[in-house]
Chains A and B, each alone.
Chain A
């Protein structure tokens, strides 16, 4: 009698419907699509900026189309979700040991959130939003 290894069936395209945690994993994966597309938008914006004032105004005007607004709202949600999950993961990715014990994970993630808030606020102030 030959021993056969246990091979679990794994449907390649629908495996993540099996468990909520797989779904959460995939929902984070999907954010990369919007973030990646937004990076392309940034490069295009840079080109328009290099092309001069008229091109830049045209770029800002093109941003106002309904499709662009919907996309940017989705990109904003994706970017915030990426940020939150990234900061939540920092406490697992880089635990800090002091003596025998570890710095509480919540403190590490919390510090990232605080730095994020301060940095975002500085950028908003420098951009003249307030």
Chain B
């Protein structure tokens, strides 16, 4: 009874939590500025496209999106349990599947850019 699947879940969770803490507030701030009609030049199609086409840009975008998705899925699973939803296997399956699906979708979109 030495093997556990937990590190596989935990490492991306911790990495994602850190990524969310460092990157998410400023990303939300940027899209909020755009939503308020003050879109910064960096959010223009041209600039975003150049960024997302470069290898480093792809790596950064995929890393942020995939790790954030996974961390959020893990946290939502815990949140479901804390709010009284005891069907943990179901919640874990649905949420992790959604996170994996979202990550694959992000990779496909990035590959198309």
Contacts and interface: CB of A to CB of B under 8 A. Distances in A.
Interface of A: 12-13, 16, 26, 29-30, 32-33, 35-36, 38-43, 45-47, 49-50, 53, 56-57, 60, 63-64, 68-69, 72-73, 75-76, 79-80, 82-83, 86-87, 112, 115-116, 119-120, 123-124, 126-129
Interface string B53-76: 000000001001100110011011
Contacts of B25: 76, 79-80, 83, 120
B35 A64 contact: yes
Given A16-B82, A115-B22, 9 more contacts: A36-B72, A49-B48, A50-B112, A82-B24, A83-B22, A87-B21, A123-B26, A124-B26, A124-B29
Contacts of A69: 32, 35-36
Contacts of A64: 34-37
Interface of B: 17-18, 20-37, 39-43, 45, 47-49, 52, 61, 64-65, 68-69, 72-73, 75-76, 78-79, 82-84, 86, 102, 105-106, 109-110, 112-113
Q: Which 7 A-B pairs have the closest CB atoms?
A: A127-B42, A13-B84, A36-B72, A32-B75, A128-B41, A12-B84, A86-B21
